[in-house]
Amino acid sequence: MTTWYVTTGISLWETSRCWKLEGVDSQVLQQADTLSESKLLAEVDGPGLIELWKDRREEIRKELSVVSDAEKLNKATELVGKYFRQECWSENGLRALPAELATLWALFHRQIVVQGDRLVFIQGRSNADVAYMLQAMFERLLAGSPRVTAEIVGPYDLDPTESDRFNASFQEMWTKLEVEKKDPSTVAFVLTGGYKAVLIAIARCVSDGTGVYYSHENNPAAVIRVELRNRQVDSTYFPF
């Protein structure tokens, strides 16, 4: 069993397009899924679709923001059930997914994440609601499938512009994860989302043998795996 620690960022609220839109044909949405945002903007209906998705994201964000922390996951599950388009969990839909889920799709597709593994979404305090949505989306996607469990840890103040708070919060997070108490071969990090300073700090702290995975939102199916062994960096690129 591998424990996967997944950092979370803002692509869910800023760029995701994996949401149902009233009055828009599903085939139109699926065709849009295959295009980057810049290419979609060049299409006749593209700017209108992007504006509708922006409105949908804001609607979801507002609905989630007004419930108590104790009810966040239940509310996120409700919103995902109402609006999430599960067909985006595919190679054609990766551009529409939040960056973290797109990377996880690639890892599942290659059977790098397997049955019995555990996902831990790391919350940043400034975007804590993202983790609830990602967990709800993930659990809906894998309902009825071999179990990979998902949970949340945090939130932590991981804004690098607040240096003293950042350092203290990062240490608190690292202590909570107890990474150094685990066999490095049973731990991996997915560092696609979040502040780059957090990603660098984590990469500097991992032990030899711990896998670190990253993909860029412009090509989410192409994943880079980095591993440190005997102070030497070994990297593998997994393009489609």
Task: Write the CA distances from 7 to 87, 94, 131, 132, integer angstroms.
Answer: 24, 18, 9, 13
Per-residue model confidence (pLDDT) at position 154: 85
Is the pLDDT confidence value at 23 over 60? yes
Q: Which of 23-27, 155-159, 231-235 has the lowest mean pLDDT?
A: 231-235
- The pLDDT, as a whole number, for residue 58 is 97
Determine what percent of the chain is predicted with pLDDT higher than 90. 38
The confidence band for 233, taking pLDDT boundaries of 50, 70 and 90, is low
Task: Report the range of poorest mean pLDDT among 92-96, 98-102, 216-220.
Answer: 216-220
pLDDT at position 230 is: 56
Boundaries of every domain in the chain: 3-238
pLDDT at 231: 54
For position 84, what pLDDT does the model report? Answer: 96
Q: Is the pLDDT assigned to residue 63 strictly greater than 90?
A: yes
Q: Which two tokens stand for residue 57?
A: 């994201």
Task: Between 163 and 134, name the one with better pLDDT.
Answer: 134
pLDDT at 59 over 60: yes
The model's pTM? 0.88
Mean pLDDT of all residues in 190-196: 84
Q: Which two tokens stand for residue 52?
A: 């509708």
Q: Report which of residues 130 and 183 the model is more confident about.
A: 130
Which residue would you say has higher pLDDT here, 4 or 164?
4
State CA 224 to chain mean position distance.
15
Pick the residue with more confidence: 197 or 66? 66
pLDDT over 80 at 219, yes or no: no
What is the reported pLDDT for 48?
A: 92
Query: Residue 203 burial (CB < 10 Å; 0-12/13-18/19+)?
Result: middle
Higher-pLDDT residue of 98 and 238 is: 98
Rounded Cα distance, 33 and 24, in Å: 13
Alpha helices in 84-187 (DSSP H): 99-109, 128-141, 163-177
